[in-house]
Amino acid sequence: GAVVSQHPSWVICKSGTSVKIECRSLDFQATTMFWYRQFPKQSLMLMATSNEGSKATYEQGVEKDKFLINHASLTLSTLTVTSAHPEDSSFYICSAGQGTSSYNSPLHFGNGTRLTVT
Amino acid sequence: GNSVTQMEGPVTLSEEAFLTINCTYTATGYPSLFWYVQYPGEGLQLLLKATKADDKGSNKGFEATYRKETTSFHLEKGSVQVSDSAVYFCALSVNKFYFGSGTKLNVKP
């Protein structure tokens, strides 16, 4: 159980275009989902917390107009990278916790999306 | 504040060797502690967890004990396999999750 599905697994886009990444909880409802960015050989950087039915909470330094997050249902959150540039190339990973916002529960991660902007 | 410090890698071992990856933390309140594993090109998978002091998490031969007195959660395995080669992340959760920088493990046959 507790499977998080993320699509696409990799995407190449041209500079200036937008890319949407989907994150779905397949067998549980996720009130809250999290979006991370991972640079090569580095840890995960939390970008934003996605809350179902309300606005996302962005971490300091993350541009909310560039990284649009929508959490329209209890099983789906999307991250749209708008007007992508080569510096946005990275590995993006979503995660979700089961149940409520209890932080004793482990996060379950999608398999990540490798974004390359040319 | 809240933070996690892991030993720097890469760690290179021969198959069947003993593994220790050190993890220490600082936290306000009473955190839960986790180890995650990341295989190349994939997301993170939960390996084990402990939610209170002296708890021992274990899975797939890996173990870690929540040591409040030393604020540590070291990962151990008695006999590593080539298939254990991956990056291992220590993490704590209080009001949100905090991850260590990751330790890459290479196991040679």
Q: What is the pLDDT of residues B49-107, one digit of tens each?
A: 999 999 999 999 999 999 999 999 999 999 999 999 999 999 999 878 889 999 999 99
Q: Please, is B6 exposed, middle or buried when counting C-beta atoms within 10 Å of its C-beta (0-12, 13-18, 19+)?
A: buried
**Between chains, do A103 and B99 touch, taking CB under 8 Å as contact?**
no
pLDDT at A1: 65
pLDDT value at B108 more than 70: yes
Q: Which residue from B minimizes the CA distance to A5?
A: B43
Residues in chain B closer than 8 A to A95 (CB atoms): 43-44
Q: Which residue from B minimizes the CA distance to A45?
A: B99
Closest C-alpha to B48, from B29, B66, B24 = B66
pLDDT value at A5 more than 70: yes
pLDDT value at A16 more than 60: yes
**Residue count of chain B:** 109
Instruction: Give residue B58's Cα distance to chain centre.
Output: 11
Q: State the SS3 of A85-96.
A: CHHHCEEEEEEE
Q: What is the pLDDT of residues A36-84, one digit of tens each?
A: 998 877 788 899 998 888 889 999 999 999 999 998 888 999 999 999 9
Closest C-alpha to A49, from A34, A61, A31 = A34
**Between chains, do A93 and B43 touch, taking CB under 8 Å as contact?**
yes
Name which of B42, B97, B104 is nearest A107 (Cβ-Cβ).
B97
Cα distance from B72 to chain A (closest Cα, Å)? 17
- How far apart are the C-alpha atoms of B100 and B92, rounded to whole Å? 9
